[in-house]
Each structure stands twice: as structure tokens, then as C-alpha cells.
Structure 1
Amino acid sequence: MKIKSYILLWAVLLLGVSAAEGQDLKLWYDRPAKEWVEALPIGNGRLGAMVFGGVADDRIQFNEETLWSGGPRDYNRKGAYRYLDSIRGLLFAGKQKEAEQLAGREFLGVRSNEGARQAWIVKMKAIQQQKDNPSATAYNDRNWKMIRVPHYEGWEKEGLAELDGAVWFRTSFELPANWKNQPLELDLGSIAGQDICFVNGIQVSTQDNGALRKYRVPGSALKTGKNSIAIQVLNMAGKGGILGYKDSGKTMGIYPAGKQEAKLLLEGVWKYWVQSDKVPPEEEYQARYQPFGDIHFYSDVDTASVTQYKRVLSLEDATLTTSYKSNGTTFKRTYIASVPGQVIAVNFTADRAGAISFATAVSSPHRDFILKKIDPHTVALHVQVKDGALFGESYVRVTTKSGNITVENNRLVVSGADEATVWITAATNYRNYKDVSGQPAALCKAALQKTDQLTFASLLRDHIKEYQQYFNTLSVDFSNPAVQNRNEQLPTDQRLARFSRSGDPEFVALYLQYGRYLLISSSRPGTYPPNLQGIWNDLLSPPWGSKYTTNINAEMNYWPAELLGLSPLHSAFFRMTQEVAASGRETAGEYYRAPGWVLHHNTDLWRGTAPINASDHGIWVTGGAWFCEHLWERYLFTKNERFLRDTAYPIMKEAALFFNTFMVKDPVSGYLISTPSNSPEQGGLVAGPTMDHQIIRALFKNTIEASKILKRDAAFRKELEDKYPRIAPNKIGRYGQLQEWMQDVDDTTNKHRHVSHLWAVYPGSEINWETTPDLMKAARQSLIYRGDAATGWSLGWKINLWARFKDGDHTYKLIRMLLSPAGRGAGSYPNLFDAHPPFQIDGNFGGAAGIGEMLVQSHAGLIDILPALPDALPGGWINGIHARGGLVLDMKWENKQLTTLTIRTIADGRATLRYNGAVLPFTFKKGKRYEVAPGFKDIKEL
């Protein structure tokens, strides 16, 4: 990577802002975690772990960033470009439905193993055509096994562990004499998978996932006496079988139509036969992020004797501790995820000699994982992703001071130690998105060999030093010295519950720093960027595959990077950008016959860039252009011309090349527009969504400016300059709103979570109070119509928008909504993870960035000081917040008035400061410090 060259210089320039000057930066709890969203995260960018902090049973669920489903393959549908003009023509003719149908057939990407499952389903159903088949009344099921029905948690809980396949179920009922010739209702509740249901050999219905199974049985299918029911269930993934009802008050049964009170219950023991458990691999547009494994530490602690329990995550040094007292002995565990050691380490200590005894149990949710003893101190876990190209190895080693270590049934058992350390490594065979030839066992061994020369104390020292080079670049405190904050004395989950009611300014500062902690923990230089869940996930089928959703979420993860002093961490995102630019070149050619590169609304570890899922939202073309905005923002904040020349501009130019060809003339308005596309994720496939045009204009403007700075590509620059004013402009609609589409069709009652057409307000800058006040008012009106209530990440976006509108109190209102306990809706989980719901990490990052936007804004040609300070934060200070142009600001305010402002510079340049209407221009030199005089009338070099 060419972007690494100045990381060390950056760190040296910015070190010295001590986080310790601020408040106590800890999340803490007075009980162990019961659920995953109560556990606490640690990470080194590559390895992530969720620590539960139990006493007798302490679970660590861990991940490695490159363990995904799938494998290298071509995601592009060959020759899709042949349908582009037809899709556009249908859209221009107002035939949206027809355009979506055509695009759905011919313009989406290729799924892995496409068609294999449908062929398998046909094969499984073919048994129904046999004369003697399991649906027949007289079928001999004497040798079938028994299973309890229903099984709401899936047949996996009834002895069919991890089964996917075709399974037949049979039972019978006696028809009451007075039901003869009457149509009946067969109520089966829910069934996981597709089912085909037969009564006395006659098919009564078939249904796929989703709907409740209530089938009409014609009277002609029934007979006096015994009647058979046979159901073929085809389940491809996840829990399977006849689930019935979650509500125990509802039951499965059969009854005369409209007379549910007469229901005959069908719950009990049924017979079953597994027709096939050889399901073809899942057909996926893109891959899923995978969990790696679990480690439990079991000890014989008398839990009834435990007192003084405390679980603490320190943001200042990225250490997590669990401590408690039992029978007079104080125990402590310290957990870290180390970059220097490339291990997760857990250190066990006690204040009594020989008190450390425990057993480890290593496992994985992946089927058929393998455990084996490596040596008397080490066991290894091998996992293979189902139907995937990737496998992983994890080595777990224990070292002790005194005591004994044995291996019993692949469990490491420690007894009578003064101190013990568990060293956890993990790696996969992933080398890059085209190469899976890695040797994970060798990587694990190498990491452990490095730790052989270390004590936990020395590893901890190196870990803190490495971590703090990033974390200590910014410190913040919103406390009021005149008011004692009793909330700081509360466990974090209680503090969260109280915040939305009573307010707690220091909690806002803690949340900002927690966002920075999460970004550092999930994105180090040399790693890959955090996905929808950062690097933390415990599910084989996580929500939305825990992919990179590029129509907002992947980008939101890096909103705090430049502003909040974490610029070097942005390099992980740029690494992915270079990779999707490479694969996106092929997509640009296959779908649009265009040069350059394109990225649609999702990508994954294998860098798929083709449209996915469905044509009404998957065909969205400006993901790559939005990625380029991050490249340009890095340059604006750092003024690093080498980065612009070697990394940013080549990628930006290629993206601009694509849109230079892709945009077409709108037959109605005559403007250049983007089509086919959509306004994420609503309104369907359209011609000319506002968001696209805003992003494309920003890309053209930035590429033009970069071309001038680098003095290259004058001819191409002229093409962009000619087309820029011809792109369809922002428009104000009949309700005073900023239009989301070319047509004035916005609905003022629409409360959708996406506010895509406000991109030019934030994270863009085209719409602002300085140059486009009317559009700014229209954008604000749109957000008023859209409302405050939203999912977690959407709240993060709206917080930044209200900050850009310079309405500090409204901004703070949404911060309180984001920092409220998550129930069925948005908010934060007990560990302060963002609730979409479910967990998505982007809300944490968006919220942290929005708090920074309240304090400093530099997107509109001026550096605004405290532009959106709410009444709830009347006093405080922040050191190390960044502004575009290469400036690092330290400032303090009291009674909502700025009291001190000093500036450090990382580049030469000019800037204009503004505070309370007063403006102060100044010229600065790299590496200098400046101070603004009281009254905001002068600035001098220190």
C-alpha cells in the first residue's frame, strides 16, 4: 500500500494529547453478561472477541476478520449490458414495473451455485410421483423414527443437529362422524422451509417460508375413521421442521372450517424419515461474515460466595478486566487483543498463592470442527466454512507461574497456579480476494513463538503503547465542575437507562470515545475495514450477511476517522477501495460497456461489485463514487499530496471515467441523469435519483480539483468541467422539500430510515448555509417531514444532518434517542452497541462523528467553532479535533462561550475561522502552533 508512508509521521505529530486528562473512560458492570449484546468487545483490527466475564463459566466468543462463506468467483452476469438500453427505455416510458422485471431477470449478479438448489428441489419432489410414496395413506412407515411435533426451536433441538435437507413427517387423526363431507382447516402454525402437505395422499397445499400454514382440506379428501397426514419439508439452511407457534396458547390442529373451538390437536409424536441431507450449497449473491469459535473457562467457584463483582472495559488502554471476591480471595482476569503479539490474551491472577484453577473448553458453531492436542500446553481448533473455500486454525496455549497444566479430552486444565495466561491465536487460508492458499497453522505457530519470549506484563505494555498512539490523539470532557455527576458512579447499563431521562453530558463524551475505541479495535493499518458488525459476530447467518452495505453503512463506519484524529485507520477502507475498484472494472464493462469502475450497493470479502438481491434496490450505481469521497476527504484533512497523487487520484479518475460514459440525457428535462438506479432503499428502480446526482457532482468536482493540483489530465478535466453543469440539479418540491427524485413525488408522511437525498448536506458539502441557503432550508424541511424516529444507524445520520443545520438542541435530542436502551426499536444495547435493531456498528460511528460535528465544521470554506453547541453541553473542552486544511484544534468553552482555542498544523495553508459571526483569516505553516486571542480578534504563533 502506498498510503502507509506517512502513518508514522502522523502518529508522531499527534501524540501527546493525553486521554487521561479527561473523565474516567470506562464501561463497567456489576454482573456478568448473559447475552451477546451485554458482552464487551476487544479487538486488534484482525482478531475480535466478545467477553462475557462469567465467574464459574466465562465465555469468550471470537472472530477473525477473513473468515467468510463463499470463495473467489466471478459475480458478474455476462453480457448484462445488452439489456441496459431496454431497461432505460422502459423507465423513460413510465413502465417501472416492467423495467424492474426485466432487470430482475437479466441485470442482477450471478449467485454462487446458481440453479443447483432448484434442480435438487425438483429431484426431491419427484418421489411424489412414485406409486408407493410417503404421501400415500397405505405407505409402510413402520421403520420410520419418532420426533416430537411441533418443535419451535427447530428439528435441530430434537436430535437432528445441523440438518438441512428433505424430511417427511407422518401422523394420523380419527375423523368424527359429524365432520363427514365437511371441509376442514389444517392449522400447522409455522414451518421452516418449503412444505408440501397431503391428506390421505391428496395434496392440499404447498407453501414457502413466511406465511402461517393454514390449509383447506376438501371434504372429498376425507374418510370415516383414520386419516393420514404427510408433509414433505424442504429446508435449505437454518433451523428446520414443523415449528408450530411460539405462543404456547396457540396449538396445531384440524377442525371444521370456521369452528376452531372444535379443533383436534395434532401435537405429539409424529414419524419422520430423512429423504436427503445432501443439500446443494446455498445460492448467495454475496458471502456472509462468519464466527470463528468460543472458549469457555470453567472453574469451581462457589458463586453464592461471590462479592465485589466488577466487569470493566477501559477505553484509555484497551484492557478489559473481570474481578470478584470469593471466600476471602480476590480474583482478576485481564483480557487484551494485541497487535504486537497478534493474539488475544487472558491473564488470571489472585491475591492468594496457588488459587488459580480452571479448565478451558474450545469449540465452534461450525459443523464438524476438529480439536486436537498440540503439546502439553496447547490445543488447536480447526474449522471449515460449510460449502466455502475458507478454513481456519486457532491455537490456544496456557502458561503459568507454578501449578500444573494437563490436557484432558482436549481441554487445558490448570490447577494450583499463582498466575496463568491463555494465549489465543487464529488465522485462515485467505490471502486476498483471489487467493486462498494461506497456511493458517503456520501463522498461529509463529504468533505463539513470539509470545514464548514474553510475559503478560511485557505484552500488556507493548499493547497499550501501540493502542495509545491512536487513542491519545484526542481527548474530550463535557463535565461541569460546578455540578457533581452522580451518574458516573452507576454501572453503564444503568447509566444508559437513566441518560435519556435525566441527561448526562459526560456520557456523551464517553460515547464519542467509545466510537473511537471501536474503530481502533476493528480497523488497524494493514487490516480490512469493519463490516456491518465491525469484527464481532456470533452467527453463521448474521443479519444482512454482516457484509459491507455501501449505500451508507460501510462509509458511515469511517465518518469519525479524519475529524476525530484517527486518519491512519482510514487506510483499511482505502485498501478495500483499491480492491473493489479492480473488480468493479469488470462490472463496468459487463453491465454498462463503460470504462472505469463501478460498485453497487453491497460488497463482501471477495469484492463482488455486481447488483444483487432485487432490482428495486440492488441496482444502485454510486457506491464507488461515494468511496472516492473518502479519498478526497483524507486529502482535505491532511493535505498530503503524495497520497493524492499515488492513491486517491487514480481511483477517483477511473470512477469519474465511468460516470462520464454512464450518464445519459433525460428526454424530458435535457439534463444528464443517472439511470437505471434507485434512491436507497425505496421508490424502486428509477431514472435520476437525487442522491446519485449529488454524489456524481461531488466526484466530478473533486476530480477536477485534484487534476489541477497535480497538473495532469487537462483534456479529461475539460470534459468533466463541460458535463458538470449539465447534471440534473437539486430541486425544491411543492411542499418546500428537497426532491428525492426528478419528479415531485415526495410523500410528506414517508418516515423511511434512508434520507438519501440529503447526502449533499452530510456527508457531502454541496448544500450548505453559505452558498445554497434555499436548498439548505428545503433539505431541513425534508428531514422534518421524515421525522426523528429511526433505526440506530439512521439516527446517526440524522444527528450529523441536524448538526450541519446548526441546530444543536435538535442534534442533542437525537443523541438522547440513540443513547436510550434498545427494546424492540432503535437505541443502544447494554454494551452500548448500536441497535438497528439488531446490532449494526455504523450507528456507533455515525453518532461519534455527529458529536464532533456539533463542535467543529469545516466543509463550507470556513472553520466554524462550536457551530451546533446544544444547551445541554454548556461547558467542556476537546483537544485534538481536526479541521480540513491540515489543522488540529484544542478548545475550551464555558457557559456556551469559547474561552480558549489553540491550533496545531500538519500542513501549510490558509484558513478562515468563524465563531459567533466573527471571522478570522490566517495563514499558517506546517508544524507550528497558534493561539486565538480572547475576543476572537487576533491569532498569534506560539
Structure 2
Amino acid sequence: MKKIFSMLLFLLFLIGFSQDNPNLKLWYNEPSGNVWENALPIGNGFLGAMVYGNVEHEVIQLNENTVWSGGPNRNDNADALAALPKIRNMIFEGKHKEAEKLADQTFISKKSQGQIFQPVGNLNLNFEGHQKYSNYRRELDIEKAISKTSYKVNDVSYTREAFVCFSERVVVIHLTADKKASISFTANYSTPHKVNNFAVSTSNDLEITGTSSDHEGVKGAINFKGITRIKLDKGKLEQTDSSLIVKDADEVTIYVSIATNFNNYHDVSGNQDKKAADYMDRAFSKSYERIKKSHIVAYQQYFNRVKFNLGQTPQNDLPTDVRLKNFRDTNDPQFVTLYYQYGRYLLISSSQPGGQPANLQGIWNNNLNPAWDSKYTININAQMNYWPAEKTNLSELHEPFLEMVKDLAATGQETARTMYGARGWMAHHNTDIWRSTGAVDGAFWGLWTAGGGWASQHLWEHYLYTGDKEFLKSIYPILKGAALFYVDFLVEHPLYKWLVVNPGNSPENAPKAHNGSSLDAGTTMDNQIVYDVFTTAIRAAAILKEDAVFVDTLQQLRSQLPPMKVGKYNQLQEWLDDIDDPEDHHRHVSHLYGLFPSNQIGAYKTPELFAASKNTLMQRGDVSTGWSMGWKINWWAKLQDGNHAYLLIKNQLTPLGVNIEGGGTYNNLFDAHPPFQIDGNFGCTSGITEMLVQSSDGAVHLLPALPDLWQEGSIKGIRVRGGFEIVEMKWENYQLIKLIVKSELGGNLRLRMPNNLILQSGGKVTAAKGENPNPFYFVDQIPKAVISEKSNIKPLELKPTILVDVATKKDNLYRFVNK
């Protein structure tokens, strides 16, 4: 009996520890004040809120994922098709700037340049007499997705908890004090929307209604409704015409529901009043403890899948903003793991099945006119948001982006036909909730035809990680449509005779040789994306045993695409001609798409291109804007240079204003482009994963890019291609000492490791020979690189590794230990 009692106490201790893990908290000893980037983000993929943690005047800034300006619309430019031959000839003749000027007139939309993600407004809580306070602390517990603020006024200690519920569609705020009858405040709404109304209903609901903005000739069509309802323990609830007043309560729970009339990108006939009321009624019937418990359970089904440990130092005990300030000059490995898990937290909180994809700011925005409209920039940023999805075991949360790709495959058919006379579908460099696919913002940025092609590769990636053949069958028409566009759009280059994209673009960069124009024919990134689009369609068709004739067409066209080139500066050429400037430090290094996220360039199959990629990165430099640093971490990880990847992590985790060329991180650990863009958070989480495990180059490569400071550590729960889960990986002195792999699909497990391991259970280890027979690890043999006569490129020296195979069975575990 005593033994059972002791065991129960031990289990209770473990439960208590797991519910209050200080290593997974952002915390501060000062309120946010009026600085939005100091506030703490909470969300459930449908609703987002920023909690300021102010004592006297608390602000809960609110977002709903479908509150966007405008309404259903199209923004194609019908003049494009007639101008296309002339623009192509201009580019082939070297008249790039003239082509760009004509494209501005004929390709760029004369309608909407894209609509805006907009806020709902603020819930304001005003606490009279709380000007003087002590013992202040605010925190965000990312293990439970709960924000907490605590302080003391006179002899009373106050606590506020807030979360956006994962089991219900509401924001919940809970107020307590350690002395009865101590909670008094006034609640009201404010909003930047011009069309709005505030009221208190007869049932004591505080309500906000509004309509999204008109923008660029598109009338605002989103009607939203917010309801705040308060539950008291003791005390009184009074009202004015636009506020609720709580007096002398022991305990208070505030519920907030928000809904809109949005059904989908072409239907805004929903009933926002009924939806908001239904969400509220369902949640309000539950006690605070009950709804909190269900919220934590629903959230942790995602978050708890991955555990990551790099050790601790005394820096752990400092406030988050102080740790951020110190990070460049101290060893704080736990700050890296906190930031890593914070990226997962942000993705879980801003992207849920059935909701909209995470946009440029995830789901958090307080401005009617945010930077870049806070929409979807699909020449890197929106894709980067979802790089962590599969590998950090959040595959279900990829769904909103994949559903958007399906929508774009529908809306993009008309763009392909109207603007390019092509079959299939395409999208340019930007889209929004209305799934616009026209070219926007000017030809320099917007005349880029690869947005749809790149986005479609996420469908294929989801298949590679899950092996879901039914999913592959359902999305094959989309992969085929992306390829079909290029079948019709490619043209022969008059000098090189290769098939090229013209007009093409290497996003947002422009060589001096083109007089500052970004337009060209056959840019490296365009070629790489077309190669991937064709290859994916070929492989998907083969798996499904479909379209043999179409596959033959794609194979022939793919063989006529330009190969990658190594230029006179030993760089990977960005353009067909060798015109790269080694002093160009532009933040976009788009032609390294072939290194990551694609796998066309690899350490073991394309050593010259691999070395050229490193030279390109060295020439471009390290310090950049936030998302660019995030991408560079992934590249340096792929280059197996952990110390350089870690240097970029330090650049990323630097307070805004310290880096000479911009970028860094705000106090709430939001990525600073600046201003805030969430892609840098997600890119860094992806890059840290790539430092530990990679699976794109024919094998599961373990510890490919450990920095010197990560001598020991462990990670649990990350995933790799082919349905394998790294249940646990532990290392000491840079050597693997423990590995447990689960095989959900079966098939060959090829491991590339820094040291040998013994398989304790589950099968036999053999030396790897030839190509990996696991089809999820097939790597295409790309065309041989063209190397400049002026180049003296040499392959990089790589750390020695051990390459082994293990034949696995479905749903079995495989345990390895160090000799």
C-alpha cells in the first residue's frame, strides 16, 4: 500500500511538472505598454489575440482569420496575351528594361493588387485604482497555450489568464484575486474600422459589429460580429449602452466569440450573427476549469509530439527580453529550444484544419493597412510558413495551405488562359483570401509565373511524408495542371536552344547587366521550379499508373530545360548568362531553391553545384532581413556547416536595430523583417530541424550540421520522409548514443550517421549499396552542370559518415545504441 501511495505521489509530481514547465515560457517583468510587438500572441487557427498585459488599461487585440478587405474578385489583365510575344522578343534582344515598362502596362493588374488581412478591434479592460502595482510578471506558456499576467495592488494579488480555446471557437479570459470582492473593471470594444457599431444586448452581451474595408475598387464584403459575455462569481454586472461594468466580484470569466459571413473565397452568404451566438452559447455553458482543461488537451495533441533538449545555463532564469539581448554574447542553448518550440506554437496557433493558412503575420495584425497587406506572398514567404509542418510532426496543420493550393488551381486556370493562352493553372507572386492569381505590384516583382508551381510542391511533400496514396490520387490533377501550364508556356531560347520561361524573373533581384530590371529568360530559379513541377507530375503519374502519353511529353520537355551553371566566380549562376556580381548582397538568393527546399543540389550527387551554392552564400553575406536569415539557416544546414547555421541563428535572435542591415527579433520573439513577418520564425524552426535531421538526399541523415555549442542533446518526435518518425535521438560529444525510429509504412530505412550504432531490436543492419530502394527516397539525376572555363570549382570536404540500410516493417519500432 505504501509503495502504491509513493508511486501516486511521484506521478502527481510528474503531472505537476509537465503542467508548469518554466523552460517553455516566455516571461517579462514589465507590461507591453502601447507596443504591439511586446504583446503576447494566442490563437487557435480561427481566432487570434494579442495580450498586452497592461495593469490599469488591459488590451486584448482581436483577429478573426476571415476578416479581409474587399470581396470575391478577379484581377487578371486581359492585355497580357497580346503583349506577350513583343515582351518575349525584347527580353531575347537584351531590352530588359523596355520589356519591364511594357509589362507594367499590360501584365500588372489594373484592378486589385490584392486585398488586406484586417483586425476586428480591441477588447479593453479598464481597472480603476491599479496605477500603482508591484510583483509584476507576465508570461506565455507555450506548453499549454495560455497567457498569464500577475501583479499586486496594495495587499491584493491579481491574476489574469487568457487563451484562445482549441476545443471551442472563443477567447477566454479569467480574472482572480486572493481577496474576495476585489475585482472591478469596465469592458468595452474599440475598432479601427469605419463601418462599425458597439452595443450591449438585453441579455448583457457586449457586441461589436463591422464591415471590412473597401480596397482598390473592391467593396468590403466581410461582415463580422463579436460577442463578449461575462460570468461572475459574486459581485455585480452593470451596463451602459456600449460597455459592461463589473463591481466587487470574487472571480470573473470573460468569453469572446467572433464570426463572419465568409463561407469560402467565392461565397460570403454566411450568417455571422448566428455563428457568433452559437459559438458563444456552446462555450459559455462550460465552467472555466472545464474549458481550460479541454483547451489544453486539444492543444497538446499537437505540441507534445516533439521534445527538444540542448541543456541549460543560468540564462534560463532571466526574463525573455533580457535573454534576447544577451544571446549573441552568451551560451544559452535552452533559448534555442524555446525559440524552436515557439515556432511550432505559432504554427499550431495560426493554422488549423478548416481555417485559413497562416499569412504574412500568421493570424495576428492590429492595423487596417499592415505592411504588404499581411497577405500571402508566394515567391517565398507563404511557403516558408509551412516548412516546419511535416518535419516537426504537425502534418495536419499543413492542410490550410494545401487547401489554398487547391483553390488557386481553380482560380489560376482563368489566369493561365487569359494572360498566357495556356492550359493548366498558374499563380504569380501574391494571393489573398479571395485566391487572386493575377500579377500585382509592378512587373519588377509581380511578373513571376512560378508562384503556383512552387506552391504545388507542398502537395507532393505532404505525400512524401505521409505516403497517403488516396491523397495523392486526389491532388494529381493539380500537379498535372501545374505541369500543363509550363508545357504550353515554355519557349525555345534563340541562342542556347533550351526551353525557357520567358518572361521570367529571379524574385526581387536585378543584375546591373539588365539595367536594373528583374526580367529575363531562363532564370535559374524558374528552371529549377519547372524541373520540379515536371518531375513531380512524372513520379505521381507513375505511382498512380496514369497518363503514360503525358509523362512521355514531360520527360521530353524536361530534357530540354537549361542545366544549372557554375560561373566565373565559382558561384551558382542566378541567370543564364554569367553576369552575377560577387558584391551583390541582395536578401533574395532565390536560385538556391535547388539546394533547399528542393533537393536538386546535394552533397553526394552534385558536388560542384553543392560547392557553388556555398560560394554564392558567402558572396551574398549573412546579415539580412528576418525571413532571409531563416532561409539561410536551412541552406547552411544543408551545406553541413552547423557553426555557420548557428551564426545565422544568433543573427536572427538579435534585438531589432542591432544588425546593421536590419532584421532580427522583437521582444515577444516575433521575427522582424522589419516590420513583423512570421515567416522568419517558421524558417528558423525548419532550419534547426535540418541541422539535426535531413531526409531529402536519398537517406535519413542524422546530425548533419551540429554546431560546436551543441555537443550533446536530444530530440523526440520529429518526422522524415517515407512515414518514419524519430521517436528519440540522443547524442553526446557529437556522437549518436541512442536512436529509436518508428516505421509507419515499412520499407527500407537508409541511415547516414556520424558514427556506428548497433540495432538492438527489429531487424538487421547492412552496408548501403546503390540507390535507396525506398521510393520515397528516390533522387532524380539532374542534368550535368555547365561549368565556366574561368571557374576552378572544387568539391567541398565533407565529414565522414556511415551509410547503412535496415529493412523495416509497418508500425514497428527500431532501437539503436552506440557500440
TM-score of the aligned structures, taking structure 1 as reference length: 0.78
Q: Which has the larger radius of gyration?
A: 1
Q: Please state how far the C-alpha of 1:849 moved relative to its aligned partner.
A: 0.5
Amino acid at match of 2:474: D
What's the counterpart of residue 281 of structure 1?
none
Amino acid at match of 2:522: G
2:670 to 830, 833, 843: 833
What CA deviation, in whole Å up to 9, does each residue of 1:644-679 have, x standing for no partner?
1113x2211110111111111111101111111210
Q: Secondary structure at the match of 2:428?
A: coil
Aligned length: 741
What's the counterpart of residue 539 of structure 1?
367
Measured in 2, the distance between the counterparts of 1:43 and 1:831 equals: 15
What's the counterpart of residue 77 of structure 2?
77
Conserved 8 A contact 1:363-1:369 = no
Amino acid at match of 1:922: V
Q: Please state how far the C-alpha of 1:339 moved relative to its aligned partner.
A: 2.8
Q: Please state how far the C-alpha of 1:19 moved relative to its aligned partner.
A: 7.5
Q: Secondary structure at the match of 1:399?
A: strand
What CA deviation, in whole Å up to 9, does each residue of 1:107-159 have, x standing for no partner?
12231xxxxxxxxxxxxxxxxxxxxxxxxxxxxxxxxxxxxxxxxxxxxxxxx
Amino acid at match of 2:521: A
Establish whether residue 99 from structure 1 lines up as the match of residue 78 from structure 2. Answer: no
Q: Secondary structure at the match of 2:348?
A: helix
Conserved 8 A contact 1:19-1:471 = no
Amino acid at match of 1:435: D
Conserved 8 A contact 2:523-2:576 = yes
Measured in 2, the distance between the counterparts of 1:110 and 1:390 equals: 23
Conserved 8 A contact 2:670-2:681 = yes
Measured in 2, the distance between the counterparts of 1:579 and 1:449 equals: 32
Conserved 8 A contact 1:376-1:406 = no
Conserved 8 A contact 1:376-1:405 = no
Amino acid at match of 1:818: Q
Conserved 8 A contact 2:75-2:437 = yes
Establish whether residue 791 from structure 1 lines up as the match of residue 618 from structure 2. Answer: no
Q: Please state how far the C-alpha of 1:703 moved relative to its aligned partner.
A: 1.4
What's the counterpart of residue 165 of structure 1?
none
What CA deviation, in whole Å up to 9, does each residue of 1:31-64 have, x standing for no partner?
1102000000000101101100111111011111
What's the counterpart of residue 568 of structure 2?
734
What CA deviation, in whole Å up to 9, does each residue of 1:154-191 have, x standing for no partner?
xxxxxxxxxxxxxxxxxxxxxxxxxxxxxxxxxxxxxx
Establish whether residue 819 from structure 1 lines up as the match of residue 646 from structure 2. Answer: no
Q: Secondary structure at the match of 1:625?
A: helix
Q: Please state how far the C-alpha of 1:702 moved relative to its aligned partner.
A: 1.5
Q: Please state how far the C-alpha of 1:20 moved relative to its aligned partner.
A: 7.2
What's the counterpart of residue 809 of structure 2?
925
Measured in 2, the distance between the counterparts of 1:617 and 1:56 equals: 46
Conserved 8 A contact 2:504-2:520 = yes
1:600 to 403, 406, 428: 428
1:584 to 412, 418, 423: 412
What's the counterpart of residue 193 of structure 2?
366
2:729 to 884, 891, 915: 891
Map residues 498-647 of structure 1 onto 2, 5 A cutoff: 498-647=326-475
Q: Secondary structure at the match of 1:933?
A: strand
Larger displacement relative to structure 2 (43-52 or 363-372): 363-372
Task: Assess, with a 3 A threshold, how the Cα gap between structure 1 residues 19 and 418 changes in structure 2: closer, same or farther.
Answer: closer
Q: Secondary structure at the match of 2:669?
A: coil
What's the counterpart of residue 401 of structure 1?
233
What CA deviation, in whole Å up to 9, does each residue of 1:309-363 have, x standing for no partner?
1111011110111111222221111101013220001011111111111110211
Q: Secondary structure at the match of 1:442?
A: helix
Measured in 2, the distance between the counterparts of 1:538 and 1:785 equals: 38
Amino acid at match of 1:99: A
Establish whether residue 415 from structure 1 lines up as the match of residue 252 from structure 2. Answer: no
Q: Please state how far the C-alpha of 1:452 moved relative to its aligned partner.
A: 3.0
Ranges in structure 2 where 5+ consecutive residues have no aligned partner? 1-14, 215-219, 511-517, 755-800
List structure 1 runs of 4+ shifted beyond 4 angstroms.
18-23
Task: Assess, with a 3 A threshold, how the Cα gap between structure 1 residues 575 and 626 changes in structure 2: closer, same or farther.
Answer: same
Measured in 2, the distance between the counterparts of 1:286 and 1:508 equals: 36
Q: Please state how far the C-alpha of 1:377 moved relative to its aligned partner.
A: 2.6
Measured in 2, the distance between the counterparts of 1:452 and 1:311 equals: 26
Map residues 139-538 of structure 1 onto 2, 5 A cutoff: 284-304=112-132, 306-387=133-214, 388-479=220-311, 485-538=313-366
Larger displacement relative to structure 2 (323-332 or 837-846): 323-332
Ranges in structure 1 where 5+ consecutive residues have no aligned partner? 1-15, 112-283, 936-942
Establish whether residue 757 from structure 1 lines up as the match of residue 591 from structure 2. Answer: yes
Measured in 2, the distance between the counterparts of 1:928 and 1:378 equals: 54
Larger displacement relative to structure 2 (561-570 or 400-409): 400-409
Amino acid at match of 2:675: P
Task: Assess, with a 3 A threshold, how the Cα gap between structure 1 residues 759 and 19 changes in structure 2: closer, same or farther.
Answer: farther
Conserved 8 A contact 2:348-2:397 = yes
What CA deviation, in whole Å up to 9, does each residue of 1:742-777 have, x standing for no partner?
111100111100010000001110001111010010
1:669 to 457, 478, 496: 496
Measured in 1, the distance between the counterparts of 2:20 and 2:457 equals: 34
Measured in 2, the distance between the counterparts of 1:619 and 1:503 equals: 45
What's the counterpart of residue 186 of structure 1?
none
Conserved 8 A contact 1:379-1:410 = yes
- The percent identity for this pair of structures is 44
Measured in 2, the distance between the counterparts of 1:691 and 1:652 equals: 19
Q: Secondary structure at the match of 2:633?
A: helix
Amino acid at match of 2:693: V
Measured in 1, the distance between the counterparts of 2:195 and 2:88 equals: 49
Establish whether residue 934 from structure 1 lines up as the match of residue 772 from structure 2. Answer: no
Establish whether residue 804 from structure 1 lines up as the match of residue 638 from structure 2. Answer: yes
RMSD (Å), alpha carbons: 1.4
What's the counterpart of residue 695 of structure 1?
529
Measured in 2, the distance between the counterparts of 1:439 and 1:430 equals: 8
Q: Please state how far the C-alpha of 1:300 moved relative to its aligned partner.
A: 2.0
Measured in 1, the distance between the counterparts of 2:226 and 2:21 equals: 38
Conserved 8 A contact 2:74-2:438 = no
Q: Secondary structure at the match of 2:594?
A: coil
Conserved 8 A contact 1:46-1:528 = yes
What's the counterpart of residue 714 of structure 2?
877
1:861 to 671, 691, 698: 698
Task: Assess, with a 3 A threshold, how the Cα gap between structure 1 residues 425 and 404 changes in structure 2: closer, same or farther.
Answer: same
Measured in 1, the distance between the counterparts of 2:575 and 2:479 equals: 25
Q: Secondary structure at the match of 2:602?
A: coil
Q: Please state how far the C-alpha of 1:689 moved relative to its aligned partner.
A: 0.9
Q: Secondary structure at the match of 2:717?
A: strand
Measured in 2, the distance between the counterparts of 1:823 and 1:419 equals: 42
Q: Please state how far the C-alpha of 1:22 moved relative to its aligned partner.
A: 8.1
Q: Please state how far the C-alpha of 1:831 moved relative to its aligned partner.
A: 0.1
What's the counterpart of residue 133 of structure 1?
none
